[in-house]
Amino acid sequence: MTLPEGVERHGFDGETSLATRGEPVYGERTDGEWRRWDPHRSKLGAMLENGMETGLDGGETVLYLGAAAGTTVSHVADFCGPTYAVEFAPRPVRELLDAAETRGNLFPLLKDARKPERYAHVVEPVDVVVQDVATRGQARVAALNERFLDDDGRLLAAVKARSEDVTADPDDVFDAVREELSAEYELLETTRLEPYHEDHLGVVARPRRD
> In the chain, what are the domains?
39-207 (3.40.50.150)
Burial of residue 179 (number of CB atoms within 10 Å: 0-12, 13-18, 19+): exposed
With beta carbons less than 8 A apart as the criterion, state whether 71 and 25 touch: yes
Check the annotation: does 134 bind a ligand: yes
Check the annotation: does 174 bind a ligand: no
Share of the chain above pLDDT 70, in %: 99
Shortest CA distance to 22 belongs to which of 87, 93, 106?
106
Q: Count CB atoms within 10 A of the CB of residue 171.
A: 12
**pLDDT tens digits along 86-124:** 999 999 999 999 999 999 999 999 999 999 999 999 999
What pLDDT was estimated at residue 209? 78
Check the annotation: does 12 bind a ligand: no
Gap between the Cα atoms of 66 and 158, Å rounded:
10
Check the annotation: does 83 bind a ligand: no
With beta carbons less than 8 A apart as the criterion, state whether 44 and 130 touch: yes
Check the annotation: does 87 bind a ligand: yes
What pLDDT was estimated at residue 17? 96
Check the annotation: does 67 bind a ligand: no
What pLDDT was estimated at residue 19? 98
Check the annotation: does 167 bind a ligand: no
Check the annotation: does 132 bind a ligand: yes
Share of the chain above pLDDT 90, in %: 96
**pLDDT tens digits along 148-179:** 999 999 999 999 999 999 999 999 999 999 99
How large is the average pLDDT for residues 193-205?
A: 98
Per-residue pLDDT for 210 more than 80?
Answer: no
For the whole model, what pTM was predicted?
A: 0.97
Contacts of 99 (CB under 8 A, 6+ apart): 23, 25, 69, 70, 73, 74, 77, 106
Gap between the Cα atoms of 175 and 57, Å rounded:
29
Check the annotation: does 173 bind a ligand: no
Check the annotation: does 98 bind a ligand: no
Beta bridge partners of 11: 16
